[in-house]
């Protein structure tokens, strides 16, 4: 690509990105999953809209799978382990046996209602049987639901991509239906090996990040995301499930006591949003709206079978032994959102040259759009009708450490090095310019909330909050005292980038 081609490409890409971000804001206000707006941006920009041409299914498969890995790493990093620990068994059963039930029931509906042969019907059933992690994370975290319900759905959506991808690959790459023993063996190996690699690489990454001092704060989020992607790639290279490895590595890293966790989570969320936007816009570009009209009726038929039969039966069969209350079972059944995953999976049979694969992509695209429009906005009402939440109920308090820009404030961290003249200085003697304040001191394994008489020590890590207008003055004051002690100003030290020499203020 030449520079003359690069600039228009970046211009279009930037405009699409901003349009998608604006769409995300509008979708949030309307109570819709953002994926619908992102898909719309892609369709509008596509061949039947603005005219951008993109029909490379193999490239879409590769980029889509990579984006899913980033989304699942982000999902693992932002999922609290206590919320899902007790739900691993039911979520695991729902993500494996539940997928199997859903595939069979959906395939039966497609076979008898649409006249599909069993091979193609099973392939379609496998494609649409996975709930979408991006949609589930985005929608459910905005609802005041019991933690066990949210945790169960998040864990299921994080785990069930792996068995679904395995089934789609099996049905796409064989001309005859494989036997149950072959499918089961393949499934067990990929899940076990992928899970083991994800856990091992996640633990190795956590140990490395705790003990290696990186030269810049911004490198910690990059390193954390890199460990998740390494887990994904290592599992894929071993013939195992990279998706489950990426999610578990993210879960381990996100719940480890790592440096700069707030920065890491913020970076991961940004990377997850970028992956979602790129993924959905690309998938919107991949379809041609002029070809979708014939897919509407089949999509509605398959979607109704999935929503009203396959999903409820799989939830009932899998959660009944765990004595999950029926209200929660109904909500879990209704909240099985589809999104990018089925559309990405629909590219697999196209790459493998499966007969009528392009028709499957159109059916899946229409199904995802229509049933997301039905399910997404109805979830708050469904939760309310089922008694899982109450009008005006308080949501879980969301604590953020990074967005101080909302308060027009800066968070500063300072480590007092050995030999600094700040050692032995009391807090009130630092004389920080107002409205700056020292809020916390981390001393070894202890954390102190300082008073005016607290004495600073070498090795202390200080957390200060200032306004952008006073930040430079705060930094100068700390540098000055660190160089010449609490009488620094009277000794001519002004705290500039270089030490002052012999200039006494008048």
**Coil vs helix vs strand at 486:** coil
Opening angle at CA 282, ends 280 and 285, nearest 5: 110
Name the packing angle between helices 161-173 and 88-114 (round to 10°). 40
Same domain, 38 and 127: yes
CA distances from 386 to 60, 280, 318, 323, 327 (A): 40, 32, 20, 17, 6
Same domain, 439 and 357: no
Q: What local confidence, expressed as pLDDT, does residue 374 receive?
A: 85
Check which CATH number belongs to the domain holding 114 and give it. 1.20.1530.20
Q: What local confidence, expressed as pLDDT, does residue 28 receive?
A: 63
Check which CATH number belongs to the domain holding 472 and give it. 3.30.70.1450
Tell me, yes or no, whether 8 lies in a domain.
Answer: no
pLDDT by 10s per residue, the chain, length 506: 677 777 777 887 788 778 777 766 666 666 566 667 777 777 777 766 676 777 777 888 888 888 888 888 888 888 778 777 788 889 888 888 898 899 999 999 999 999 998 889 999 999 998 887 666 766 666 677 777 888 888 788 878 877 888 888 888 876 666 677 777 787 888 888 988 999 999 999 998 888 887 777 778 888 999 999 999 999 989 888 888 899 899 999 988 877 777 778 888 888 888 887 888 788 778 888 878 888 999 999 999 999 999 999 999 999 988 888 899 899 989 888 887 788 888 888 888 888 888 888 889 889 988 888 888 778 888 888 888 875 444 444 333 444 454 456 778 888 888 888 889 999 888 888 888 889 899 988 888 899 988 999 988 888 888 888 888 888 888 888 888 888 877 777 777 765 544 333 32
Same domain, 30 and 98: yes
435 upstream amide cis, omega within 30 of 0: yes
**Coil vs helix vs strand at 461:** strand
Tell me, yes or no, whether 436 lies in a domain.
Answer: yes
Same domain, 374 and 447: no
Domain boundary among 323, 351, 385: 385
Tell me, yes or no, whether 9 lies in a domain.
Answer: no
H or E stretch including 411? Answer: strand 410-415
Same domain, 357 and 436: no
Same domain, 237 and 152: yes
**Coil vs helix vs strand at 413:** strand
Name the packing angle between helices 161-173 and 118-128 (round to 10°). 160
Q: Cβ atoms within 10 A of the Cβ of 381, count? A: 10
- Minimal CA–CA distance to 335: which of 88, 118, 33? 33
Same domain, 76 and 46: yes
Q: The domain containing residue 470 runs over which residues? A: 405-491
Strand ranges across the sheet with 410-415: 410-415, 461-466, 437-443, 446-448
Same domain, 184 and 47: yes
Tell me, yes or no, whether 176 lies in a domain.
Answer: yes
Same domain, 139 and 224: yes
Tell me, yes or no, whether 431 lies in a domain.
Answer: yes
Which positions ≥6 away from 348 have C-beta within 8 Å? 61, 168, 169, 172
Which positions ≥6 away from 364 have C-beta within 8 Å? 124, 127, 128, 299, 342, 343, 345, 346
Same domain, 227 and 129: yes
Domain boundary among 327, 353, 385: 385
Tell me, yes or no, whether 448 lies in a domain.
Answer: yes
**Coil vs helix vs strand at 464:** strand
Please give the span between the terminal C-alpha atoms of the chain, in angstroms, as a whole number.
63
Tell me, yes or no, whether 496 lies in a domain.
Answer: no
* Cα torsion angle, 225, 226, 227, 228, sign: positive
Pairing of strands 437-443, 461-466: antiparallel
Longest pairwise C-alpha distance within the chain: 94
**How many independent structural domains does the chain possess?**
2
Same domain, 86 and 180: yes
Same domain, 272 and 160: yes
Tell me, yes or no, whether 392 lies in a domain.
Answer: no
């Amino acid at each position: 690509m030449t520079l003359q081609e690069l600039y228009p490409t970046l211009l279009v890409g930037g405009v699409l990105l901003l349009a998608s971000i604006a769409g995300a804001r509008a979708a949030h206000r309307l109570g819709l999953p953002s994926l619908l707006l992102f898909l719309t941006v892609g369709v509008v920009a596509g061949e039947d809209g603005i005219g951008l041409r993109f029909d490379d299914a193999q490239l879409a498969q590769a980029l889509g799978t990579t984006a899913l890995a980033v989304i699942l790493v982000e999902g693992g990093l932002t999922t609290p382990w206590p919320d899902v620990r007790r739900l691993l068994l039911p979520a695991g059963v729902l993500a494996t046996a539940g997928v199997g039930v859903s595939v069979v029931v959906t395939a039966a509906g497609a076979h008898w209602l649409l006249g599909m042969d069993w091979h193609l019907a099973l392939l379609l059933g496998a494609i649409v049987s996975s709930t979408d992690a991006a949609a589930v994370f985005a929608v459910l975290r905005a609802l005041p639901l019991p933690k066990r319900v949210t945790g169960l759905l998040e864990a299921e959506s994080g785990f069930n991509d792996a068995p679904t991808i395995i089934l789609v690959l099996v049905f796409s790459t064989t001309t005859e239906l494989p036997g149950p023993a072959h499918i089961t063996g393949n499934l067990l190996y990929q899940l076990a090996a992928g899970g083991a690699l994800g856990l091992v690489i996640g633990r190795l990454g956590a140990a490395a990040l705790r003990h290696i001092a990186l030269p810049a704060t911004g490198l910690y989020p990059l390193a954390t995301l890199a460990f998740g992607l390494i887990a994904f790639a290592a599992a894929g290279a071993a013939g195992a499930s990279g998706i489950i490895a990426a999610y578990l590595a993210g879960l381990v890293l996100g719940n480890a006591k790592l440096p700069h966790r707030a920065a890491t989570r913020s970076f991961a969320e940004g990377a997850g949003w970028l992956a979602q936007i790129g993924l959905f816009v690309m998938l919107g570009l991949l379809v041609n709206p002029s070809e979708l009209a014939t897919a509407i009726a089949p999509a509605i038929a398959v979607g109704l079978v999935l929503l009203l039969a396959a999903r409820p039966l799989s939830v009932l069969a899998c959660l009944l032994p765990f004595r999950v209350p029926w209200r929660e079972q109904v909500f879990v059944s209704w909240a099985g959102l589809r999104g990018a995953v089925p559309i990405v999976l629909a590219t697999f049979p196209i790459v493998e040259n499966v007969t009528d694969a392009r028709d499957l992509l159109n059916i899946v695209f229409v199904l995802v759009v229509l049933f997301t429009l039905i399910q997404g906005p109805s979830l708050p009402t469904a939760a309310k009708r089922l008694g899982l939440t109450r009008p005006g109920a308080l949501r879980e308090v969301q604590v953020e450490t990074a967005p101080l820009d909302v308060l027009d404030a800066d968070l500063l961290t300072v480590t007092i090095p050995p030999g600094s003249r700040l050692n032995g200085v009391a807090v009130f003697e630092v004389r920080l310019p107002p409205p700056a304040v020292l809020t916390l001191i981390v001393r070894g394994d202890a954390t102190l909330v300082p008073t005016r008489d607290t004495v600073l020590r070498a090795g202390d890590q200080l957390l200060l909050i200032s306004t952008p207008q006073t930040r430079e003055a705060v930094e100068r004051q700390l540098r000055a005292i660190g160089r010449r002690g609490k009488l620094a100003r009277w000794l001519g030290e002004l705290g500039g980038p270089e030490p002052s020499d012999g200039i006494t203020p008048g």
